[in-house]
Structure 1
């Protein structure tokens, strides 16, 4: 029996227990209708959530009405929400599929926090897992992308992964439970539908057992992935630091590309970019790469710096304040050896004082030197990373740089034997 098969799978994968408060992602489709029926029959405490994505005109509303009627008949509490999916996809620059997925799971997460659901049950089945494997293979992926859909992912559970689509249809037919056929599933406009309607039938023409063999291969790969992931996690832990990935150590690894792939692929870097980044690690510092998920990889001297791109505020407001203190000066005064404190001759260090980011072409005379030096060259000599350079601030007296803040003062403002009064400038975070 289907019910026994699902019950065994739930126990085997430790997906649910009878004390759970379960939210079912419910559409009018066969998979989620079967999921609702099976979990209710097995005695689980279930409520439902339905998204109207307004992608199929009146059909979307009919689907919603079907779900409402089903939940009312079975006395199931139902959460409903309407999404302007097309608008959201345009704003976020996502495909319709990805936009709907993001909207759906964000809402489920909000419902879980608000109502205290133990988990969210979705109706993915074996055919969905096969399609995911093939899609990942076509798009490019690592070993983890070939394992199919996981039975459990954080609070998302998938109790029907032990069933095929045909088993679900047969079950609903047997119990005379109607369901809604989504017309978009019959069109090959979407990548997943192309795989379902065109690719898999061709594979089955080559080998009728193609689907079973794909699932079996995914299971074997899952066992190999356990060993692989253990090794990868251990090595990545050694290579990654708060400053970035240690380049020299990465290049000495037996499989640097595999390690770099597992670090960068989740951040949205594709395989072609990862190959280019690996090549760049042997070159000069400064090369940058941008991922599809808004991450930046910067080849610095010792590290591959990874940072999420955040739009900088247009205002030139530093993340700190400066405190100015005036004091008398004599030969007994000891200049503080603190990078966050600068001392200036009060007669030379004149207002107005301004704080800004350094600019290309800026020059100053480093303390202890006579000639001028480009700020960019000074920061390079100091071996600052690219990210540190971008966030370097300067303090100006009138229009002249007096201090590369936290690094070096300008020699023109130095304290001398003729100094009578000084100004101490302190950084306060």
Structure 2
């Protein structure tokens, strides 16, 4: 067995990437990394199925890469699935970067092949250099500790058997095996940050330390160990300070004075990932903004459809925050005749004083002195209500005093005429509409469950 194959096998055993009887979908572009991955896995004795995506970005070059992969598989009796997908079009339609669109397309296709063939794992060709480039990239842009650990050897059913192999070892192995490979010329273009790191920054670093790739990789593994330890600690804290419902995650910030910034940051990242259901990398700046969010303020991670709101010391992490649509429905006209088009969400009718068993079960208002059409609506800017023994008060201030979450305030129903708020459902009734045993026209407004 060649030393390169031994190294790949040791990586597989070290990280428990594969069992002997598993079938692998191998992502193969035709480049050096993926060809070395395919050849080494087959040489070790694994059953491999090739998946190739033609991104339709490089014209004839991309077509030649596809042809090469298909012919290599045919001549070596390897099952191969290939597909052409217009990644540029997808990038424009979804308004995401070309790199992100390409990545999404590849992994979706790999999963498709996995399900079709009943394979167990997906192998991709990230190597030691890729890991180092990721660490440097995250260091430059600003990252939490987890971003400096580079690339994981395993992520669920996606494995990276070449993660401890350098690019030089890969090319040397292919030369020994007399296996050709294709060169993606876009990797030589320094318009992309990662290419600048690969083609400019790392060569400069090698002038100072020829073994810089190994050094940074080793450091990234130390960071990974430290990261896993802290992660375990945070996991215990989440049981105390984090709550989750069907559509939101809540973090009690009263714990802030007990922890340093590192733990606070981890709790925030944990809540974000729980809310959106996937791992993301956040910059230190983002974490600081969320950590310092003042009461009533909101911060959005728009790419993930997530909003974070501070509601009186509780951070609420919620996906797909929907802005409440303004509503207004006529309840009764100026003569006190009920509208026959009342919203089915509400039970609205006249009742007698004797029918009222519990004033907390619904909102009851006396309209004996109201000679205008009455509506049920959500709040408007500047709304005020006159409350007994309190005086006139802004509806907004009432919500603040009652500690009503900011994203719920526009969903609370108000009973009003064109120029006056008569009641805030389930909260307050205007002084002029209070019900007593002398009330003749008592209107009941109740939300249907």
Q: Once the two structures are superposed, what CA deviation does each residue of 1:351-386 show, in whole Å capped at 9, x if it has no partner?
A: 9765433121122334x4573322111111111122
Equivalent-residue separation in structure 1 for 2:290 and 2:164 (angstroms): 40
Moved more, 173-182 or 37-46: 37-46
Q: Determine helix, strand or coil for the equivalent of 2:363.
A: strand
Q: Once the two structures are superposed, what CA deviation does each residue of 1:321-364 show, in whole Å capped at 9, x if it has no partner?
A: 1123544443x7423433xx223447678997654331211223
- Aligned twin of 1:130: 132
Query: Does 2:246 align with 1:246?
Result: no
Whether contact under 8 Å (2:110, 2:122) holds in the other structure is: yes
- Aligned twin of 1:323: 347
- Aligned twin of 1:222: 224
Query: Does 2:204 align with 1:202?
Result: yes
- Per the normalisation by structure 2, the TM-score is 0.83
Whether contact under 8 Å (1:393, 1:405) holds in the other structure is: yes
| Structure 1 segments unaligned to the other structure (5+ residues) | none
- Aligned twin of 2:384: 363
Whether contact under 8 Å (1:350, 1:397) holds in the other structure is: no
Query: Does 2:301 align with 1:291?
Result: yes
Equivalent-residue separation in structure 1 for 2:117 and 2:418 (angstroms): 59
Equivalent-residue separation in structure 2 for 1:38 and 1:199 (angstroms): 30
Equivalent in 366, 386, 389 of residue 406 of structure 2:
386
Q: RMSD in angstroms over aligned alpha carbons?
A: 3.1
Moved more, 264-273 or 124-133: 264-273
| Structure 2 segments unaligned to the other structure (5+ residues) | 274-279, 330-342
Equivalent-residue separation in structure 1 for 2:176 and 2:380 (angstroms): 74
Q: CA 1:232–1:335 in 2, change beyond 3 Å: closer, same or farther?
A: closer
Q: CA 1:193–1:8 in 2, change beyond 3 Å: closer, same or farther?
A: same
Q: CA 1:197–1:380 in 2, change beyond 3 Å: closer, same or farther?
A: same
Q: Determine helix, strand or coil for the equivalent of 1:263.
A: helix
Equivalent-residue separation in structure 2 for 1:52 and 1:350 (angstroms): 72
Alignment of 1:59-208 (within 5 A): 59-113=61-115, 115-208=117-210
- Aligned twin of 1:335: 358
- Aligned twin of 1:24: 26
Equivalent in 259, 263, 283 of residue 270 of structure 1:
283
Equivalent-residue separation in structure 2 for 1:352 and 1:116 (angstroms): 66
Q: Determine helix, strand or coil for the equivalent of 1:415.
A: coil
Whether contact under 8 Å (2:153, 2:159) holds in the other structure is: yes
- Aligned twin of 1:406: 426
What's the offset of the Cα at 1:101?
A: 1.4
Q: Determine helix, strand or coil for the equivalent of 2:165.
A: coil
Whether contact under 8 Å (1:296, 1:306) holds in the other structure is: yes
Query: Does 2:439 align with 1:419?
Result: yes
Equivalent-residue separation in structure 2 for 1:128 and 1:30 (angstroms): 13
Equivalent-residue separation in structure 2 for 1:376 and 1:115 (angstroms): 59
Moved more, 285-294 or 223-232: 285-294
Whether contact under 8 Å (2:360, 2:426) holds in the other structure is: no
Q: CA 1:347–1:40 in 2, change beyond 3 Å: closer, same or farther?
A: farther
Equivalent-residue separation in structure 2 for 1:21 and 1:39 (angstroms): 11
Moved more, 87-96 or 47-56: 87-96
Equivalent-residue separation in structure 1 for 2:326 and 2:49 (angstroms): 48
Q: Determine helix, strand or coil for the equivalent of 1:129.
A: helix
